[in-house]
């Protein structure tokens, strides 16, 4: 028998003591893990619409760990469009190898997350290949609709991305929270975009998964509109109660599930059509800086980042349904330009001051005369003026598209919906605020031939803004999810715990 006091040779100890083998292996793994973590994350530059995001935070305020996502290195970009309209995607091919925060390849068992990231690497390569085909019509077959024409930045890349989304997108909706402030939203009001999207995500028939491990993105199902209704004291101008509710909710999510801390919220999204949506998100640093914020109030001067946030169309459904799409032919539209709306904000003030009761061709009202139909005025106008109010978004943009009236966007710092794939210059007119006095000259300078082209394109793009129940392919529900999908493609998640 071997003496307990006799020293063991290295070879003897490893052969004779399985416990020591396990101990040495464990210590080695711990040292490797500590070394990997002390390397720290490397921030990658990334841009969509040439807008780089803010730097990733150094630590996670909830878990205390390092950031576990990175922005893809822009070695190659996909250009959807030309010149000033170029929309760039940094869909870098990583040869199917998951990257950690230092950009080095990792060797580990293939977790669900790693398999997801490998599939997204393939998707990036597929879209990049499709984008090289400079064709105004997609080359991919589709029984329902094939994107075509200059309304798209790159029809082929958009179609390929859309088809990949239909195959791979999975959304996990957190179950925490009780209605009416969670899992609920108005479907018949100026905020109906918010309520309808929450409703469709909650129904769970499209893209929703019950397995959070297989999800690509995670939905935070709170409604800012409902919080304003139940938590805001009218006239107080105080929204701290709303902010605290969102903060508490994300604390619960972060402590109950691993996914928020894993990505610092970068693969999570919220949505809001209320003006206070951006302010509400600012109560949680990572929600504001990292998460995908789907906002009607898409104002870059107030922190909206096209590189990670989604511009959401504001749609006013008075009855909950859409009726009366379309309008007379261009030859029967007798009004050059039309606007009617309340005096909200300085842009409308300038518009009304300049044009109200000044010119029969530019019909601008703060209140329509008795007996005059708003819908009829839209449908009998060639151009529909869409000035920002107190906030940049306006339901008039979609109302104009529904009436097949060419939208005239008058705003500062507004990112129109679905600008990632739609070329708004092809079917709308964009007027700077300083040029409000020149509106008539600008519109009269558009030739009849050019106007007819723009009006046909408004009819073509209409399908992307229609609200359907249940949703139909390429409608506003799917286009919104596609914008979320694109932003998920532009980040890469690494789970340090795996």
pLDDT in tens, 241-281: 999 999 999 999 999 999 999 999 999 999 999 999 999 99
Burial (CB count within 10 angstroms: exposed 0-12, middle 13-18, buried 19+), residue 175: exposed
Angstrom distance (rounded) from CA 409 to CA 429: 6
Report how far residue 488's alpha carbon sits from residue 291's, in angstroms, rounded to the nearest whole number. Answer: 10
Give the Cβ contact number of residue 126 at 10 Å: 17
Alpha-carbon distance of 145 to 149, in angstroms, equals 12
| pLDDT tens-digit map of 374-426 | 999 999 999 999 999 999 999 999 999 999 999 999 999 999 999 999 999 99
> For residues 74 and 47, is the Cβ–Cβ distance under 8 A?
yes
Tens of pLDDT along 470-483? 999 999 999 999 99
Listed in sequence order, the residues at least 6 apart from 163 whose beta carbon sits closer than 8 Å to its beta carbon are 140, 142
The per-residue DSSP string of 226-250 comes to HHHHHH--TT----HHHHHHHHHHH
Backbone angles phi, psi at 436, to 5 degrees: -55, -40
In angstroms, the Cα distances linking 252 to 145, 201, 230, 247, 387 are 42, 21, 21, 9, 40
The DSSP code for 443 is H
What is the pTM assigned to this prediction? 0.82
DSSP state of 212: G
In this prediction, residues 202-207 reach a mean pLDDT of 88
The residue among 498, 431, 485 whose CA lies nearest residue 269 is 485
Of 449 and 74, more confident: 449
**What is the chain's mean pLDDT, rounded?**
82
What Rg value do the Cα atoms of the chain yield, rounded? 26
Residue 48, pLDDT score: 27
pLDDT recorded at residue 495: 76
Closest CA to 153 of 140, 135, 129: 135
CA dihedral (194, 199, 202, 203) in degrees, to 10, reads -150
Q: Are 270 and 241 in contact (CB under 8 A)?
A: no
In angstroms, the Cα distances linking 231 to 224, 238, 328, 395 are 10, 10, 45, 25
What would the mean pLDDT of 127-150 be, rounded to a whole number? Answer: 94
> Looking at the predicted structure, is the pLDDT value of residue 27 above 80?
no
- In this structure, of 71-75, 455-459, 477-481, the range with the lowest mean pLDDT score is 71-75
**Residue 91 burial (CB count, 10 A):** 24
- What pLDDT digit, counting tens, does each position of 92-107 carry? 333 333 333 333 444 4
Helix (H, G, I), strand (E, B) or coil at 262: helix
Cβ proximity of 360 and 334 under 8 Å: no
User: Residue 67: pLDDT above 90?
Assistant: no
- Cα 266 to Cα 70, 73, 129, 303, 404, distances in angstroms: 9, 16, 26, 16, 37
**Residue 18 confidence (pLDDT) above 70:** no
With beta carbons less than 8 A apart as the criterion, state whether 411 and 392 touch: yes
pLDDT the model gives residue 244: 97
From CA 156, how far away is CA 420, in angstroms rounded? 14
Compute CA distances 180 → 222, 227, 234, whole Å: 9, 8, 19
Q: Give percent of the chain with pLDDT exceeding 90.
A: 70
- For the stretch 159-179, pLDDT in tens is 999 999 999 999 999 999 999
Per-residue pLDDT band for 70 (boundaries 50, 70, 90) equals low
- What's the sign of the alpha-carbon dihedral 468, 471, 473, 478? positive
Is it the case that residue 60 has pLDDT exceeding 70? Answer: no
Element (H, E) at 28: helix 18-39
Indicate if the pLDDT at residue 65 is higher than 80: no
User: For residues 406 and 428, is the Cβ–Cβ distance under 8 A?
Assistant: yes
When mean pLDDT is compared across 175-184, 321-330, 405-414, the lowest value belongs to 321-330
What was the pLDDT predicted at 68? 53
Mean pLDDT of 37-66: 31
Q: Is 407 helix (H, G, I), strand (E, B) or coil?
A: strand
Among the listed residues 70, 439, 497, 16, the one whose alpha carbon sits nearest the alpha carbon of residue 262: 497
Q: How confident is the model at residue 189 (pLDDT cuts 50, 70, 90)?
A: confident
Per-residue tokens: 370: 């008795």
* pLDDT at site 9: 34
Q: Report pLDDT for 317.
A: 83
Residue 303 pLDDT grade (very low, low, confident, very high; cuts 50, 70, 90): very high
**Residue found under tokens 């990036």:** 124
Count of other CB atoms within 10 angstroms of residue 193 = 31
pLDDT at 33 over 70: no
69 band by pLDDT with thresholds 50, 70 and 90: low
Instruction: Summarize the confidence of residues 140-144 as an average pLDDT.
Output: 93
More confident residue, 108 or 324: 324
Q: What is the mean pLDDT of residues 307-327?
A: 84
The answer, yes or no, to whether residue 204 has pLDDT greater than 90, is: no
């Amino acid at each position: 028998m071997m003496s307990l006091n006799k020293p063991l040779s290295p070879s003897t100890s490893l052969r004779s003591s399985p416990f020591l083998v396990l101990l040495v292996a464990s210590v080695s793994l711990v040292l490797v893990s500590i070394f990997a973590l002390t390397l720290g994350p490397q921030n990658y530059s990334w841009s969509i619409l040439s807008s780089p995001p803010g730097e990733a935070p150094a630590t996670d305020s909830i878990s205390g760990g390092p950031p576990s996502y990175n922005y893809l290195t822009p070695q190659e970009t996909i250009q959807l469009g030309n010149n000033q309209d170029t929309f760039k995607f940094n869909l870098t091919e990583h040869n199917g190898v998951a990257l950690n925060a230092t950009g080095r390849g990792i060797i580990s068992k293939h977790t669900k997350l790693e398999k997801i990231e490998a599939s997204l690497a393939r998707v990036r390569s597929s879209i990049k290949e499709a984008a090289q085909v400079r064709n105004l019509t997609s080359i991919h077959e589709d029984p329902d609709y094939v994107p075509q024409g200059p309304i798209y930045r790159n029809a082929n890349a958009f179609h390929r991305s859309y088809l990949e989304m239909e195959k791979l997108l999975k959304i996990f909706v957190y179950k925490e929270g009780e209605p009416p402030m969670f899992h609920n939203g108005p479907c018949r009001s100026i905020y109906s975009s918010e309520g309808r999207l929450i409703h469709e995500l909650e129904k769970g028939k499209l893209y929703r998964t019950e397995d959070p491990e297989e999800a690509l993105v995670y939905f935070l199902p709170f409604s800012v509109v409902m919080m304003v209704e139940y938590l805001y004291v009218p006239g107080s101008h105080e929204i701290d109660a709303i902010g605290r509710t969102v903060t508490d909710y994300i604390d619960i999510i972060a402590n109950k599930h691993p996914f928020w801390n894993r990505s610092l919220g970068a693969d999570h999204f919220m949505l809001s059509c209320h003006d206070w949506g951006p302010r509400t998100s600012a109560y949680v640093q990572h929600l504001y800086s990292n998460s995908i914020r789907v906002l009607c109030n898409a104002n870059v001067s107030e922190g909206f980042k096209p590189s990670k946030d989604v511009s959401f169309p504001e749609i006013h459904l008075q009855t909950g349904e859409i009726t009366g799409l379309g309008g007379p032919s261009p030859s029967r539209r007798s009004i050059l330009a039309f606007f009617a709306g309340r005096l909200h904000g300085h842009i409308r003030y300038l518009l009304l001051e300049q044009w109200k009761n000044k010119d029969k061709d530019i019909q601008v009202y703060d209140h329509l005369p008795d007996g005059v139909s708003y819908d009829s005025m839209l449908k009998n106008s060639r151009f529909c003026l869409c000035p920002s109010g107190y906030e940049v978004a306006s339901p008039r943009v979609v109302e104009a598209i529904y009436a097949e009236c060419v939208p005239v966007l008058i705003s500062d710092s507004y990112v129109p919906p679905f600008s990632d794939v739609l070329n708004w210059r092809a079917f709308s007119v964009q007027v700077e605020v300083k040029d409000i006095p020149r509106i008539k000259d600008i519109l009269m300078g558009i030739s009849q031939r050019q106007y007819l082209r723009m009006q046909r394109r408004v009819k073509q793009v209409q399908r992307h803004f229609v609200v359907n129940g249940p949703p139909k392919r390429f409608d506003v529900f799917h286009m919104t999810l596609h914008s979320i999908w694109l932003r998920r493609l532009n980040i890469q998640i690494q789970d340090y715990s795996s």
